[in-house]
Copies of this chain bind each other. A is one copy, B any other.
Amino acid sequence: MKNLDKLFYPESIAVVGASETIFKWGANITTNILEGGYKGAVYPVTKSKETIYGLKAYPTLRDIEESIDLVIIATPAKSVMDIARDCTTKGIKNVVLVSSGFSEAGEEGTKLEKELIDYAKEHSLDIMGPNTMGMGSMGCSLYGTGAQTRPKPGNISIIAQSGNVGNQMMLWAELQGIGIGKFVGSGNEAVLKCEDYIEYFEQDEHTSVIMIYLEGVDDGRKFTEIAKRTTAKKPIVILKTGRSEVGSMAAQSHTGSMAGSFKVFESMVKQTGITLVKSQNDLLEVSAAFDAFPLPKGNRVGVVTMGGGWGVITADRCAEEGLELPPLPDDIIKELDTMLPPFWSRANPVDLVGEPNSELFMRSIELMAASEAFDAVIFLGVINAFTLAMRPIQSAHKLGAISDEDLDNICSAMDQKQLDALDFILQLMEKYNKPIYPVSLATFAGDEKIYSNNNSKYKLIIYSTPEDATMCLSQQVKYFQYLEKRK
């Protein structure tokens, strides 16, 4: 196994090709590291300026007296071999090679990449890339990509065989408040391969889930072996492209990797416990679900809904995703009989028909969570029901029927109810060790998607749709079932 500790936890970084010229990679990466909050030493390397963003600049790596853990290179391809030799001179083993112009750029680039691979093998250089958008290690506030997407630190680690897809995942994570551990733009994978990163993340205690955008694999056998070993410890979630002929051709011209037949890939990973997803959205959603919720111990779902339509949508989706909706046990029916109008459905989904009544909600959810009939609970329409309920009250206030003071009081009470509900759900998850998935009635711009507090090791993901919730839950169930079978 490759030891990539200094790649992900460097105490010092040199950026070769550091620049103050806007739009240049050497500018984008340097400003990202400096503004991203990295605490280690940063050494800009360039011959063209004395200082870069106020830091002393060095003409070459050899001119830096201090030791360097990690070198990021953003200079033209033809300069790279010399810099690699400087790395060896300085005893540097970890390189992120952002530069393009290698195997993705035709015959000459392929030759150069071959030369680099040979040199790296001979001198034990661990190179990420070339043709990568960079890396990140959020735990030490190291944002080493060109695009300045900065998700908060967390435990989902990403490997992306595409810069723009990787970027988008990082941006979505940032905007949705999803914590990311380490980020790898694996580029051409000349030296370090996807498998190497998986193997490192396998033993990385700060990684709970490995999330991969995958176009192709060089060594299918090794990949399968490592993946299978890893899934025993933590989930691997993969969006695999090149599924179709046109997609495969596009992948080949993109990263030069042979995407191969998707059927071959599918059968290869079937026994590995890898979680395959269908879209970028699902890739992030499912990874986040694994990181946030306890694993369900089966596929039996209890649904509590504020409105009938949502219950129907969720029931259909559960059926289509292989999730069961067992009937309500008698004791739950009995208790809910005392709280609900006489004509309530007495079925799963439990339709609470009516105004937001948080006691009723909370009690129904607890009954489902506590019951041995269910392995997981989905509840729909509580979160932001209060926010939406404020709208008529604000209208009444504008029409003069509610005083400023009353408005403030109602508003605070609503906010508090919402927080109480979220804390209560986390408490239930701790107590019963079952996933409880919230689906929000309304998702507003800027809403945090993740909720956590200090009393629980779990987190809540607040889904926008029942479709997303059932899809994620179903993937959790499949992974659980795989682990059971494997025992």
Task: Give the interface of A toward B (CB within 8 A).
Answer: 20, 22-23, 27-28, 31-32, 34-35, 53-54, 100, 104-106, 109, 146-149, 160-168, 171, 175, 213, 215, 239, 241-247, 249-251, 253-255, 278-281, 305-313, 315-316, 318-320, 325, 341-343, 345, 347, 349, 351, 353, 355, 381, 388-389, 391-393, 395-396, 398-402, 410, 441-442, 444-446, 465-467
A241 touches B164 (CB 8 A): no
Complex contacts, A35 vs chain B, CB 8 Å: 395, 398-399
Q: How far is the CB of A310 from chain B (nearest CB, A)?
A: 5
Given contacts A105-B343, A347-B249, contact A392 B312 (CB under 8 A): no
- In angstroms, Cα B466 to Cα A279, docked, is 9
Complex contacts, A393 vs chain B, CB 8 Å: 22
B164 touches A309 (CB 8 A): yes
- In angstroms, Cα B133 to Cα A392, docked, is 14
Partner of A410, one of B22, B278, B320, B400: B22
Partner of A254, one of B167, B249, B308, B396: B308
Copies of this chain present: 2
A392 touches B148 (CB 8 A): yes
A164 touches B253 (CB 8 A): no
A309 touches B162 (CB 8 A): yes
A147 touches B391 (CB 8 A): yes
A254 touches B165 (CB 8 A): no
Given contacts A22-B410, A244-B320, A341-B105, contact A309 B441 (CB under 8 A): no
A465 touches B281 (CB 8 A): yes
- In angstroms, Cα B355 to Cα A451, docked, is 36
Given contacts A105-B343, A309-B215, A341-B105, contact A315 B247 (CB under 8 A): yes
Partner of A23, one of B162, B341, B389: B389
Given contacts A53-B399, A165-B313, contact A392 B254 (CB under 8 A): no
A53 touches B312 (CB 8 A): no
List 15 A-B residue pairs with CB atoms under 8 Å apart, sorted by A's residue number: A34-B399, A53-B400, A109-B343, A148-B392, A162-B307, A163-B307, A164-B306, A164-B307, A165-B307, A244-B319, A247-B313, A250-B351, A254-B309, A280-B466, A445-B445
B444 touches A175 (CB 8 A): yes
- In angstroms, Cα B22 to Cα A388, docked, is 13
- In angstroms, Cα B167 to Cα A253, docked, is 45
A319 touches B467 (CB 8 A): no
Q: How far is the CB of A221 from chain B (nearest CB, A)?
A: 24
The 3 closest A-B pairs by CB, nearest first: A162-B309, A164-B307, A254-B308
B34 touches A395 (CB 8 A): yes
Complex contacts, A31 vs chain B, CB 8 Å: 392, 395-396, 399, 401
- In angstroms, Cα B410 to Cα A22, docked, is 10
- In angstroms, Cα B464 to Cα A171, docked, is 12
A313 touches B465 (CB 8 A): no
Question: Taking each of A109, A168, A351, which has the highest tally of chain B beta carbons within 10 Å of its own beta carbon?
Answer: A168
Complex contacts, A306 vs chain B, CB 8 Å: 164
Which single residue of chain B is at the shortest CB-CB distance from A163?
B307
Question: Taking each of A20, A215, A309, A313, which has the highest tally of chain B beta carbons within 10 Å of its own beta carbon?
Answer: A309
